[in-house]
Amino acid sequence: MTFKKFLPQKFTNRIILLIGFLGVITAAVNTSFTIYTNYKNTYEKVFNSIEIQYDIFADDFAEAMLLEDIYSIYSEVNEINKSFGFISNIYVLDAKGEYFTDANATRKMPDNISEDITVNKAIKAGETTIGKIIFVLNKNEIQKGIFSDVSRLVFVNIFIVIMGVLLGIVLARFLSNPLKQLSYQISNINPLKIPEELHTPAFSSYEVEQLKNTLHDLSYRLKESISQIKQQQREINKAERLASIGTMAAGLAHELKNPIMSLKLISDALQKEYADKDFNLKKDMEMISRQSDRLVKRINTFLAYAKPIESKIIEINIPEFVKYLKDLFSKYMDNVYIEYNYHSTGNFKTDAEMLAQVLENLVQNSYEAGAENITISFYFENNRFIIKYFDNGSGLETSDKDEIFRPFFTTKESGTGLGLAMCEKILENLGGSISVIDTNYGAGFFIGINQNGL
């Protein structure tokens, strides 16, 4: 905008400009109004003064006109003329409108007197007009008086404007001081030490206090954001290191499989060749073969965990999924009773095989923990498909609950420590999560899978 070019940059100068502008506008309006009212009032005073003088001398004028006493009339109008500077002359005319006398003894009546500077009064004897008095106004003297009054008013207004500007300077500095202090504190904030307490003077306005409080809130939010960014950076660095280690470990696992398989083949061959010749050698070869199988199984489990998961999301209803689980877990039915609870028969979206793999891993853990009963519940909540899993096995140690999803953490002598970690990885790929449920006995897990966007 054009007027923006004329605005001062500093807040203090803007207040001074505003007060000065308002002062000038006020002075101009006040002066204009005063000129108008003073002009009107001055002429009213003139007319009132003439009216009063006429009323005082009306009878004397009438008596002198009847007696044709020129000297008496002249004396009276001359006295009136000298008493009032706004009257330049007073003419007295007879009943025929001819010159009789005047206050300045000019002995004649001008031919052209402007009507706007005259006041005419009749001289009457009873109801009969016997003469006429013409008061000729001195317009210059009247305007000079008006100008004198206005000049004094203008000087007063100028003085008021100057005092207003001076007061504006003081007021502007007073009002801007809290902002200056706040700005100085902000400019000296150390980003590494936020949030920092800001202070404003006791006389600060509500808006300045609001600004200070807003800056406080922003500093706290900034600190939280910086902390989150640092935490995310640490997690990213950790993830990158783990990814590098995982890639290297996966490559190493592939390299280990070949010599282990070679050892197994050699041990199997030696076992067959010396089966009837050397009993001790046969036992050693069997031990080597079993340990080779065990190592290969663990390497395969690790490679499965390190391998990227490819999911195939489909829509399936709960009864169909439960039937699929019953067929899958039939091998455990001789030792474990599994109860399925669901009240909805609606459809949900997931990779059925992968979700079944997660539940099979939990059932296997329950079986190994000596559980005899397992309860699996299915329902929907807030656009999520929820599964709650409980068993009556030996349960989890309190100290282990925060670690059980960490890769390679296990409480079993023969465990790989990748079962629950694999469950968490699969569920994350499906847009879900798994967590431990605190129970008085046995183990409990909560699985939630988001249905939005799948």
Question: pLDDT tens, 184-203?
Answer: 777 777 766 676 677 777 66
pLDDT of 333 > 60? The answer is yes
Q: Does 322 score more than 90 pLDDT?
A: yes
Confidence (pTM): 0.43
Structure confidence at residue 243 (pLDDT):
62
For residue 168, is pLDDT > 60? yes
Separation between Cα atoms, residue 356 and residue 326, nearest integer Å: 10
The whole-angstrom separation of Cα 211 and Cα 176 is 13
* Contacts with 204 (C-beta within 8 Å, 6 or more apart), sequence order: 178, 212
Residue 319 banded pLDDT, cuts 50, 70, 90: very high
pLDDT at 359 over 90: yes
Strand partners, 91: 102, 134
Identify any residues that bridge with 448 across adjacent strands, giving them in sequence order: 386, 433
Confidence band of 419 (pLDDT split at 50, 70, 90): confident
Average pLDDT, the chain: 78
- What token pair was written down for 159? 């003085």
Give the residue-averaged pLDDT of 222-244: 74
User: Which tokens sit at 88?
Assistant: 């330049």
- Report whether pLDDT(175) > 80: no
Range in 185-189, 241-245, 295-299 with the lowest mean pLDDT: 241-245
Among the ranges 22-36, 123-137, 298-312, which has the highest mean pLDDT value? Answer: 123-137
Among 84-93, 172-181, 260-269, the range of highest mean pLDDT: 84-93
Residue 341 gets which letter from DSSP?
A: E
12 pLDDT tier (thresholds 50, 70, 90) = low
* pLDDT value, residue 376: 95
Q: Rounded to whole angstroms, what are the CA distances from 169 to 15, 17, 172, 225?
A: 8, 9, 5, 42
| Residue ranges with strand state E in 282-372 | 314-317, 337-342, 347-350
Which residue has better confidence, 305 or 220?
220
Residue 100 has which token pair? 């009789």
Give per-residue pLDDT as tens, 99-157: 888 888 888 887 777 666 788 888 888 888 888 888 888 878 777 777 777 777 777 77
Average pLDDT for residues 316-333, to the nearest whole number? Answer: 91
Contact 61, 103 (CB under 8 A): no
Is the bond leading into 308 cis (omega within 30 degrees of zero)?
Answer: no
First to last CA, the chain: 51
Q: Which residue has the tokens 């290191």?
A: 241
Q: Provide the pLDDT for residue 422.
A: 85
If you search the block for the tokens 């009943």, which residue do you land on? 95
Instruction: Tell me the per-residue pLDDT of 50-83, one tens digit each, with 9 for 90 and over.
Output: 888 888 888 888 888 888 888 888 888 888 888 8
Helix (H) or strand (E) holding 217: helix 206-273
Q: What is the spatial distance between Cα 355 and Cα 426, in angstroms, rounded to a whole number?
A: 8
| 416-421, Cβ contacts within 8 angstroms, sequence gap of 24 or more | 416/298, 416/301, 416/302, 418/301, 418/302, 418/305, 419/361, 419/364, 419/365, 420/361, 420/365, 421/305
pLDDT at 256: 63
**Rounded average pLDDT over 349-353:** 91
**What would the pLDDT profile of 362-411 be if each residue is shown by its tens digit?**
999 899 888 999 999 999 998 899 999 999 988 887 666 777 887 766 66
* Per-residue DSSP letter, 274: T
What whole-number distance in Å separates Cα of residue 121 and Cα of residue 132? 6
State which H helix or E strand residue 102 sits in.
strand 99-102
Total count of residues recorded for the chain: 454
- The pLDDT value recorded for residue 351 is 92
Which one-letter DSSP state was computed for residue 243?
H
* Angle at the Cα of 304 from the Cα atoms of 303 and 307, rounded to 5 degrees: 80
- φ, ψ of residue 383 to 5 degrees: the values are 60, 30
Please, what is the Cα angle at 97 between 93 and 100, to 5 degrees?
Answer: 30
Q: Please state, in angstroms and rounded to a whole number, the distance separating the CA atoms of residues 374 and 388.
A: 11
